[in-house]
Structure formats: structure tokens, C-alpha cells
Structure 1
Amino acid sequence: MPVPVVRDRRSALRAVFAWPRVVDRSRAVIRSAATTFFVLSFTLWLMPGVRSTDVLDTMGLVVLVAAVGAVLRPLLLAGVVALGGWGAMLLGVVAQIIVMVVALELDPSKRLSGWPTVGFAALLAVVCAAILDWMFDSGTEDTFVKEARRLMRGIRRRKARQAGGRLITLRRPAPGQEPGLLMVQLDGVSEPVLRWAVRAGNLPTIGRWLRAGTHTMRGWHTGLPSTTPASQAGILHGASQQIPGFRWYEKETGRLIVSNRPRDAAMIERRFSDGDGLLRDGGVSIGNAFSGDAVTRLLTVSHAALPGRSARGWAAFMASPFGFTRALVLGVGEVITELHQARLQRRRNLQPRVSRSGAFLALRPASMLLRDVNISLIAEQMARGAPAVYCDLVDYDEVAHHAGPARPESMRQLESLDRMLGVLERLAPEAGRRYRIVILSDHGQSQGATFRQRHGETLDEVVERFSVPDRADAPAAPAEEPGAEPDFPATPVAPLLVVSSGNLALIYLTRFPERLDRSRIDREYPQLVSGLAKHPGIGLVVVDDDGPVAVGAAGSHRLADGTVEGVDPLLPYGPHARADLLRHQRAAHIGDLVLISSVDPVTDEVAAFEELVGSHGGLGGWQTDAMIVHPADWQITHGDLDGPDAVHRQLVEWLELLGVRKRPPAEDEVYLMAAPS
């Protein structure tokens, strides 16, 4: 790529002193000075024992803060980059406070003295500045964009210098011309919810793309299980059948697997990664469950680590006054907002609803912080010119679990994600490539009162009621060979283990090393299958009975050939149910029994086996209705996109279309290359 060169001093001066540039810089300086003056005046007024609040002294302190910041911030940023990871986070938290502390210590008027007093005043000033900046922006992302642009231009200038080019540091680098693909996953957003929000005019960025005809939107069917790990295993690796649910039990090792635990996610990825993932050719994974065989993996669960020294976007976000400090202050506001919204639900007696206290109070601001970090990391990779980037934004999914997928607070999160897409669009001119954008989700969500709320008992308690054993001489689990060490530490588990993922549950008879068919289950627990199938909260039970059979309260459906006896239990779950269940039965580590909760025929609501008002994992409602928004001039060539593996194949084809993914040779080409000349 040619490097832009400023060939004479006159053109450089014109670039520096262009009227729009002068106006923008002057406005930024005036705003910064006014903010600092107000914050310092307010802070000094609050502090006990301050001898003077003279305006001239405060103006001098404003200048001193600017001078100290100009000297220290580059040094602090360098330190943050050098530390990487947790060191960057810790130093980033205190970077702005350090600048303020030094300025207050150097204040000639000496209105504050003593480290505790100066430190508290600095902390108060930084917090007030973050709040005031947010108020100035009126909820927009202008300041965030300006900081990201500064970061991206710096990265591209360094890249140009490393390439041997000459570049005047005050001039904007020309945008890249090579193509690239940016894939942003809006976690948990169903196609009906997104379409409704666009029609309501609540998503200006996506709505503008669709109305202008640059992009088009369509739904795709996730299949079973409708969870992030299964969908991302398919989208990123084409291996969704390796994952039977969000959680599952492995009889071979006696271990419960939870796919969002880093150690488990790493083990899962090792099983299906073949080096041919979606992001294999120099791609970047940000905030995902699995890496897609990316070269650069940032905040990816299967490679659990904070971004290292090379991730300048992480360091810049942590050290910036408009980065971590802003997100931390706004996170406190999110907690207050959450408490207010939960109280409104209780006062209005809004149903269905669940408790929104406890860990969720921490999850909500954490997801907002993660969103801002992810956007900073995307901006950095765009500046570096990464050929393909895939990032998962989880804000909507986290809130919808506890508030409901179409409730106002969930839609507010979706609107904030739309603003983030607008930020990426505004940053595109600073990118090292000409990026096309694909927006997609991994699943939807279905609403409903929980199983416990509807029936007064948990699924575990129901299973316990129906699990009176017929014999006392059932075999124990096989013993380990002498001296052998298991791959994973085994922990004691119940003879009947219930593992739930939304309104999907897997039941394991843990004493038996193999998967049992119905005759053996009936022999051990005669009431179990029939009792569960007749429970009003359970829509169907899938069991092996000379092939997989879905058993309901008044009939059964043989999945292999479609034979129905009595009332078909699959009718409430839509036209894909049989294929979904049959495919799920071929997944690794499937339970001895598979349960799906019942679906309300009027509202399409499901009853999650977990305490979530918005859930996904099983069948029923919108949880299997994912969406994809892609450039309108790109064709869908893989049918109805049935399942995440089909989405993987489509994205691979688009990457090949752009020329950023090398096409593997066909079998005949391999033969010709290997044949002797």
C-alpha cells in the first residue's frame, strides 16, 4: 500500500492550519479548559479547610493540569502498554488520578496539602469530569470517537514508519483500499426483535443501511441447542455438533462441563479446532467463546487472558480519561438505573418477571464496560488492517435474560449497540482496509415465567419425585485403573444429574458409563420417563427406544421416520422441530434423556428451567430465530441457512469473495500438485 507523503512544508502547514481543523481543535481546547475549571472549582469548594478559591489561582491550576497531562499521559500510556494485561487495567484505573494528584501537589497556591486530602480531591475531580463530559455529549459517542480516531491515526503512522515511508505526524493517513470484513455479533438478538426495532425507528444506524439499500436483513435458524457456545462453535469452526448444551456431563471423565469457563472452553476448542476456522488467515477474535483459529485472540474465553502488550487499544482505553474512567462512572449509573427499573417492574406487577438483584447488578455495568473495551479493540485492529474481525457484543443478551427480550430496558441496550455500530462506521475512514460489515446474532430469546414459578417446584425436584429406583443393585461407576490419573478431577455427582440450559435439560444416569435406552431406564426408574412426559411443564422427552423418540403427554413422534402415535408432541415447536431434535441426538455427550419445556399456545412463551425470564437453549418462541444483516450485493448461496454450520460456510464464501481468505485447493488440484512431473 503506498504511503502518503507530504512533499513540502507549505502543504504540511496547510494541512495543520486548515480552518475546519483549527475550529475543531479550538473547540476541544475550550471545552477541556471549561470542564477542568468547573471540576476543580467544585472540588475545591467541597474540600474542608481550603484557604482560597480565587478564580485566577484556579485558572492557573487548569493550565498546570493541562501541562502535567501533556507530560505524564504519554509516559503513563507507555507504561500501560509495557505492563499489558492486568497491569494495564490497574495502572489505567489510576492514570487520570495520578495526573490530577501531581498537578494539585505542584499548585503554587498550595490550597491542598497531605496525600490523603490530595488523593481524595483528585479522585473526586476525575469522577466529576467523567460525569460532566457525559452530560456535554448528551448521550452521544463523540468524545469516544475522537479518542479512537487519535489512537487509529497513531497506529497507522507507526505502521507507515515501520514500512519505511515518510509521513508528517500531523496529517491524517489516507484510508486503506484493500478489502476487509468486520463481523459483529449482537448476542441474543432475534430476527423478529431486530425487525420490529428497525420499523419503530429505534435503530438509526442499521435502519439507515437497510432503507438505503446498502444492506439487507434475513433470519436464520439456529437449531438445537440455541446457545452461544454451540452457535459460535458452528459459526467460527463449523463444528456445532460438538456441543449438546450450555452445560453438559461427560460420563467418560465424570466431569460437568460449563462452556463459559475458560478451562472448559479451551478443552472444547482443542477437540474441534483443525486450523481451518473462519478467522484462520490473519483474522482477529474479540470477546468470543472460541477463537475461529484466529492469529490474534483478544478477550476470547478459550484463550483466557487479558490483552497483552501488543494490544494498544486496550492500553489506550484504560489510560484515557474517556475510556475506563468514563465507563466506570457510567457503570455506577447503570446499577442505579437497574435498581429503578426493577422497582418499576415490581410496582406495576409486571409479569413474567424474575429477581434482578445479586450478581446481575454487577453483570450489567460489566457488560457495558466490556462493550466499550471491545469497540476500542476493534478500532485498533481496523487501524492495523486485520483482514477479518469477529466480535461478540453481549449487552442485550445479559439484560434480556432478566428483564425480558422485548422489554424497554432490553431495547435500550439494543439501541446502544446500534450506536456502537455507528461509531465503527464513523471510524472507517481511519482504517487500514476498506471494511464491509456483517451484523449477525447467535440465537434469539424466548420470554416466559420460569418452570419453578409456574409449577411451584424446580425440575430437579420433579426428577427426584419420579426417580424411585426399581432395584438396589444397579452397577456402580467403573473404577479407575491402579495408578492411573484422570484427565480432570472427578467430583461426586448425583445418580440422576439434571443439567439445564434455558428450557432445554439433559438428564444423565451417572452410574452407567454408556448412554441408556428406554428399556434400561424404565428398569432402573419405572416412573421417570412417563412421569416427566405427563408433567404439564414438560412438552416432550426424547429417549432412545430403537431410535430416538419424542414422548409427550398424549403421544409420541419417532424422529427417524416421522411416525406419530396419538397427539404429535412436536406440533407446538414449529416445522424445524423434528430435524432439530434428530440432529441434536447425534451431538457428543448427549443426555440419557433430553427434555424441552412446554410452550404456551397463545403467547409462545416457554418455561425456563433456570430462573430467567428471557431464555434460550431449547425450542419454542423466538430463541431459534437468529438474524444476519449483510451487504445487499452479496448473495446467500447456502439455502435457508439452517444451523450455524451453514452460516460458517456462507461467511467463508464471502471471505473468499473479498480475497482475504485463501481458498484450499480442490482434491484434483491436490493430486496434480502431488503427482510427479
Structure 2
Amino acid sequence: MRRHRPPLVTVADARAALWSLTATAAGLGVAIVLVSGVRVASPWDVLLVALVVGLGDALLRAPLRRLARAGGAVVALVLGLAAQVLVVGAALTFLPGVTSGSWADVLAVLLVAGVVMACGHWVVGARDNAYVVGDLLRRARRRAGLPRRAAVGEAGTDDAGADGSADGGSDDRPPGVLVVLLDGVARPTLEHALEAGLVPTMERWLGSGSHRLESWWARVPCTTPASTLGLLHGTTDAVPAFRWWSRRLGRLVVTNRPADAAEVERSASDGRGLLADGGVAVSTMFSGDAPTSLLVMSRATEGLGPGQLFVRFFASPFVLVRALVGTVGEALKEVYQGWQQVVRGVRPRVPRRGWYPVLRAVTNVLLRDLNTSLVAEQLVRGAPVVCVDLVDYDEIAHHAGPLRPESLRALEGLDRVVGLWEEIARGAPRRYRTVVVSDHGQSLGATFEQVVGRSLSDEVHRLMALPAPARGEHPDGEAWGPANTALHALRKDGDGAGRLLVGPDRDTRRSSLPEVEVIGSGNLGMVWFCREPRRLSAADVAVRWPALVPGLLESPAVGCVVVHGAQGPVARGRLGSHDLATGRVTGRDPLAAYGSRARADLLRVAGLEDAGDLVVVSAVGPMGRVHAFEGLVGSHGGLGGAQSEALLLHPADLVVPDDEREDVDGARVLVGAEAVHRRLVAWLAGLGLRERT
């Protein structure tokens, strides 16, 4: 049965407009008092200014979209900011009873009003970012026939729309799917958040029976580029680590560089990725072959995406300013929380200084607000499949620890965002089902350097009798990913990282390569002997650097080193070895502490084309603690702890057949991002969202 056509304007709409007008007037009023160059004759004039600002936004939105369509996101940003300044400037200059001295005063009013409104938003307890998509929320509520303050479904009722439906079985809208990637969230971590009451939206889904929560096994390397490539394109063979040395290219490949991400995607894509049939990718590392890509790393050299889709965020009065204010507040909060860890003597911990507070702030406020707006608009437009990657938790957990309070609080914020999208989906043209999936988990532990006193790179160089490498902070780590996407997209060009080492001078140039490259991906380390045209065997390494492998195995922070023997890869430990091809164990099994998947995972990763000559996995303690080969207290990439136990939260009517699962430590789960990709594609096909090929 069809739903009744909603009225064009409801009482809830009028109430929302009045509240918005009041909030804007309050912000402008305080700003006018504080900015000496602006004067008003009476408080009613402030209300008139606020009304003009709101009307200006409504009238300019459509022409700004048309202009930004041709110019891209950068044009949308410039036009949006210019429109805000012009509207506020016109109101302060031409309205009767209002005077302003200069455009500097206009800018000051705009900034101060944004600060006041952001602070007021925080004081009254509205700490989510619903204001970013306020107009879309009102439209969605009106279409769904809901009062403005209606809850997003009542606990324990399946009709409430946990899958995006407003009226249960009578909904005749075509289906759609929203795939939310929660970067770095292990299933046990989500269960902690559920018990703590931090994720009420997802708790309601599980309590009502509308969704089911299960694990899937993120194979080594359980890193964002590997898992995301697998989830979106169905293969992980091109990614042996977070960063790696390519003999074919003669350089490091870093997937946080757009040119490299694009090259990896080209090697993996068959044109039929998860989002191929009209889908939209938002803030993901790879596109999934989506026709529309917004803030996608592998497409960053082409720009941020269609400009008209960014107008709402950049042009809405005070939205961008409030997001910037929140960004500054988040940076200060990070400084305070890092200081508190030191004061309380929390261990293990790592320094939380340098660029990290700024990166956390940009990722967890500014980019989250932008993502919220972009996804919401795609839902309202009726995109068949939307996939978004939310990295907030992962960024904090790396530096604070996977289960530390500030990390779990990030999940609270992400749950609110998912709740906003759910509410918007209730009035969308499609009945959206929401699937929440993570790319991996995280494991806690002191770093390799904290245990040994040297970094893994320094230790390898020492054992090879080479000078220690120069050290420095480079924007190649995982935390830089979202920022790199935006910066490279604004430049609209790569960084020259795609150079190939080919041609007649290849041999002469080989001597200019580093003798060894050591890269840590969490507690997975890899060592490449860069000047060698082929991968070296264990015997070759023993002859050239006899102290290297034995020295690594003597380290208390190393659990095993995978070398290449005559018959294939072998995992060596201090007291024994494990032939990965045959399963034969000599002495004490070095893989015993890593679980039932260790042999299969290490055999696979050691056989990848670009895998290191040596593959190092840190020791794992009885509590599942590992030792990252990076400066991170929460890590992922190798084996041990919860890092491999990713989560899959899906609607109950989208079933995972048991014959697709494998046994892992006594549980039946999907194994590998490829398996999850195949299941997601099967669900889309079952809903009629995949074209037949």
C-alpha cells in the first residue's frame, strides 16, 4: 500500500525553521556585540539579519550547484565561502537599522557567530552533527510522515526502520544498500561498546532482531589497503603490506599516495567492483568501480568529485565555520587526553604529539561532517549502493589504544552518524538496508622499539653491519590517508610516485637503490634487499648476512621470521621451525601462539609477488598483546590479538550461507576480504542491484 503524499510544509518544518532562525539570530547577536565595527538599532534588526541569511542560503543553493557542477569541489568551496560572506555582508550593509564598517567586520561577524553557535550546540548537549544535514533530515521526516522529534524507531520494534524502511512491510520503494566501513573496529571492540551503551543505534538493531553481528577473518596483511581492495574489488593479491618495495617499479609503493593507489586499483579491477552498477564511493581508499567517487584516494588525481555535491556543506550558513571550530576543539581535546595518559601512568602508551592532534581533528570532525553531508545527499538522491569509510576510531585507537576511553568514545560518535543516515533513509526514494563492516581490528601492545630500544629498521641495519638509516616523519602513514586524499585532489595531480625503473640504465641505476628496505605494517614487518633482481633464499641471506635472521630471532619482541627455503617458505622461531608448505614442525612450533590460521595466512602472504625477502611477525603475549614495528600502541597488519577479527553487521534477511564459511579457532566465519566481497555482491544481486553480465 502506497504511503500518502506528504504535505509540502508541516508544523514540524515550521518549528524547525523557527529554531534555526532563533539559533542564527543568537549567534549573530553575540557576534554583533563583540565586533565593534557593526551596529544595530534594535534586537529586531538582528532577527531580520538572521532571516535574510537564511533566505539567501535558500535562494543561492540552486545557482551555486549549477556553477559548481562545471568547476568541481574546489569551485564549490570558493563559491560557498563567497556566498556566505556576500549574504552576511549584504544583510549588514543594506538592511535598515544595521551598519558595518568594512568587509573585515563582515568576516569577523561570520567567524564569531559560527564559534558561538558551535559552542551553544555543545552546551545544550546536541553533540552530534545533525546540523550538517538539518534540511535533509526535515525533508526525510516529512516524506516519511514523521514528527520532527520522532525517535529513529523504538527499541524492540522491527517496523521502526532499522533497514531504512519507514513503515515495515507496506514499503513499496525499490531497495538500496548503504555499506558503512568502520575502519579498525574488531568485533570484540564493538561488543565492548555495546555493553557500555555507546552505540545505541546498532544495539537497537541487534535487540530488535533486524540485524545480526558476526566475525570475519582479515587475513595477513590485515591492513586497510589490503582489506579495502578485497572488499571493493574482490582481490588482495596486489597488496602484501601497508607499504612495500616493488622490484618491478624499483621504489616503495605507498597506498596513501593517490598515484600509487590508482596503480594498485588498475591492477586489481575488472570493471565489476562492488559499486560498479550506479554505486557511490565516499572517502574510501579504492573506488570499487563506482561511477561517482567522492574523496576517494585512488581517484584523487581527478579531483574530489562532482562539485555540486559539495555545495550543501560549503555554502550552508555557518556549517563549515562550526565544523572548523569543532576541529580546533578536537585538537585541544587530543592534547589533553594525551597529557592525561602521561599523568595517570597509562601503559603501554606512545607520544601523541607532532602532527597527530591536527590529523585527528581534521579526520574526526571536519571530514566526518563532510562525509555525513555527502552520504546523506546520496541517500536523498536515491543512489542504489553507497559505500563510505569512517576512519575516526582507527586513528584514535592507533595512538590511545583499542579499548581506551577516547577510542570507544569515537564509536559513540560514529553510531550517531549512522543513526542520522538511518533517519534520512526513512524518507529516501529507496528502502535502504545498512551493512556495517570493518576492514580489520586492532591489537594493543608496547612497540618493538619500546621493548628492544631500537626500531626494526635500526636493528636490521645493525645486524647487517650497515649505517643506521636517517629517520624522519613522512606523510605516508595510515593517519595521513584522508588528508592526503584532500590535498592531492586539490592539486589534481600525483606526486611523481609512479616512476618505473626500466630501460637500458636499469642495471646502472640499481646501485643507487638502498641496499635494504625495512617496513612495518603494525606487527608485520618486511625486509627487502632492494639491489637484488630476485627474492633471496634463506641460504643466500645466511651467507651474506649470517647474523641477521638469528639476531632477529633473539629479540624478545620477535615471534617468527619467514624465510624462503629450498622447498618453499619456512617460519623460523628461536626454538623451532614450521614448514608452511608441508606443515612439518621441527622443535617447538613458532606459530603455536598465533592460532589455527597462522600457517595458511603466512604461506599466502610470503608467496605474493611483492612480499619481502624476510617476513617478520612480532611476539604475541598471553593477553593477545603484540609489538608494532611502528610507533603505534594499537596496531594491525600481522597476527595476534583481535586485529584479525573484523566485524560484519548485516540485516537478518541477508543471509551468509554456512558453506561459505571456514573454521577458525573453533568458529565458522568468512575468511578473507574476498569472501566478504562475494557475499556483498550476492546480496546486491539478490536485491536486483547488480546488472547481469
What's the TM-score once normalised by structure 2's chain length? 0.84
* Alignment pair present for 1:557 and 2:590: no
Match of 1:577 among 574, 598, 601: 598
In 2, the alpha carbon distance for the partners of 1:569 and 1:237 equals 33
Question: 1:445 is matched with which residue?
Answer: 442
Secondary structure in structure 2 of the residue aligned to 1:612: coil
From the superposition, tell whether residues 288 and 151 of structure 1 become closer, same or farther in structure 2 (CA, over 3 Å). Answer: farther
* 1:264 paired residue among 260, 264, 271: 260
Tell me if 1:233 matches 2:219. Answer: no
The worse-fitting range, judged by mean Cα deviation, of 101-110 and 221-230 is 101-110
Tell me the residue number matched to 2:619.
598
Task: Output the amino acid matched with 1:652.
Answer: V
Deviates more, 1:369-378 or 1:433-442: 369-378
Offset of residue 81 of structure 1: 4.3
Alignment check: 8 A CA contact 2:141 2:427 kept: yes
Q: Distance in 2 between matches of 1:631 and 1:50?
A: 55
The corresponding residue for 2:433 is 436
Do the aligned partners of residues 428 and 69 (structure 1) sit closer, same or farther apart at CA in structure 2, a change above 3 Å counting?
A: closer
Return the match for 2:362 from 362, 366, 374. 366
User: Separation in 1 of the partners of 2:76 and 2:125?
Assistant: 27
Aligned equivalents of 2:65, 2:292: Cα separation in 1 = 22
Q: Deviations over 1:490-520 (max 9, x none)?
A: 9944212101111111101112110111111
Percent identical pairs in the alignment equals 44
Q: Assess if the C-alpha contact under 8 Å between 1:224 and 1:617 holds in 2.
A: yes
Alignment coverage as a number of residue pairs: 624
1:416 matched to 2:404 = no
Q: Return the offset for 1:384.
A: 2.7
SS at match of 1:584: helix
How far 1:246 moved relative to its partner? 0.4
1:500-649 equivalences in 2 (<5 Å): 500-546=520-566, 547-601=568-622, 603-637=623-657, 638-639=660-661, 640-649=669-678
Deviation at 1:348, TM superposition (A): 0.6
Unaligned runs of 5+ in 2: 145-165, 467-499, 662-668
User: Separation in 2 of the partners of 1:491 and 1:88?
Assistant: 48
Q: Is the partner of 1:417 in helix, strand or coil?
A: helix
Distance across 2 between alignment mates of 1:56 and 1:236 = 54
> For residues 241-292 of structure 1, what are the alpha-carbon distances to aligned partners after superposition, in whole Å with 9 as ceiling and x for unaligned?
2210000001122110001210001111111211222222222222111112
Residue number in structure 2 paired with 1:333: 329
- Alpha-carbon shift at residue 448 of structure 1 (Å): 1.1
**Is 1:375 the counterpart of 2:372 in the alignment?**
yes
Q: Is the 8 A contact 1:219 1:626 kept in 2?
A: yes
In structure 2, the CA distance between the partners of 1:69 and 1:592, relative to structure 1 (3 Å rule), is closer
For 1:32 and 1:177, the matched residues in 2 are separated by: 31
Q: Deviations over 1:555-606 (max 9, x none)?
A: 11111111111111111111111111011122221111000111122x2211
**In 2, Cα distance between equivalents of 1:78 and 1:128:** 32
Residue 514 of structure 2 corresponds to residue 494 of structure 1 = yes
Give the aligned partner of residue 180 of structure 1.
176
The CA distance in 2 between the partners of 1:179 and 1:236, in whole Å, is 20
Deviates more, 1:638-647 or 1:280-289: 280-289
Match of 2:216 among 217, 220, 226: 220
Residue 386 of structure 1: how far off its partner (Å):
2.2
Give the aligned residue type for 2:675. Answer: A
Give the conservation status (yes or no) of the 8 Å contact 2:179–2:436: yes
State whether residues 184 and 393 of structure 1, in contact with CA within 8 Å, keep that contact through their aligned partners in structure 2. Answer: yes
From 96, 102, 106, the counterpart of 2:94:
106
User: Aligned-residue CA RMSD in angstroms?
Assistant: 3.0
Say whether the 8 Å CA contact 1:144–1:322 is kept in structure 2: no
95 and 408 in structure 1: CA distance in 2 versus 1, 3 angstrom threshold: farther
- Structure 1 range deviating more: 506-515 or 108-117: 108-117
Distance 2:349 2:535 in 1: 37
Aligned counterparts of 1:315 and 1:175: Cα–Cα separation in 2: 31
Instruction: Report the equivalent of 2:681.
Output: 652
CA distance in 2 between partners of 1:181 and 1:405 (Å): 29
C-alpha change, 1:47 and 1:282, in structure 2 (3 Å) is closer
Task: Report if aligned partners of 1:176, 1:431 keep a CA contact under 8 Å in 2.
Answer: no
CA–CA separation in structure 2 for the residues paired with 1:405 and 1:459: 23
User: Structure 1: 5+ residue runs without aligned partners?
Assistant: 7-11, 157-171, 470-477, 665-677
**Matching residue of 1:398:** 395
Deviation, structure 1 residue 36: 3.2
Q: From the CA coordinates, give the structure whose radius of gyration is larger.
A: 1
* Aligned residue in 1 for 2:163: none
Deviations 1:67-95 (A, max 9, x none): 54454455445544453221212333454
Which of 415, 424, 429 is matched with 1:427 structurally? 424
For residue 175 of structure 1, report the CA deviation from its aligned partner.
Answer: 7.6
Is 2:78 the partner of 1:90? yes
User: How far 1:135 sits from its partner (Å)?
Assistant: 4.0
Relative distance call for 1:611 and 1:493 in structure 2 (3 A) is: farther
Q: Secondary structure at the match of 1:184?
A: strand
The verdict on how the C-alpha distance between 1:148 and 1:663 changes in structure 2, with shifts beyond 3 A counting, is same
- Distance in 2 separating the partners of 1:431 and 1:647: 27
Q: Does the CA-based 8 Å contact 1:255-1:491 persist in structure 2?
A: no
**Separation in 2, partners of 1:26, 1:344:** 45
Pairing 1:199-210 to 2, within 5 Å after superposition: 199-210=195-206
Amino acid at match of 1:396: Y
State whether structure 2 residue 376 is matched by structure 1 residue 388: no
CA deviation after TM superposition for structure 1 residue 129, in Å: 2.9
| Alignment correspondent of 1:314 | 310
Give the whole-Å Cα distance in 2 for the aligned partners of 1:253 and 1:86: 32
Question: Match for residue 29 of structure 2?
Answer: 41
| Deviations, residues 29-82 of structure 1 (Å, cap 9, x unaligned) | 332333233223322322336666643444444444445445445544554445
SS at match of 1:439: strand
| Amino acid corresponding to residue 433 of structure 2 in structure 1 | R
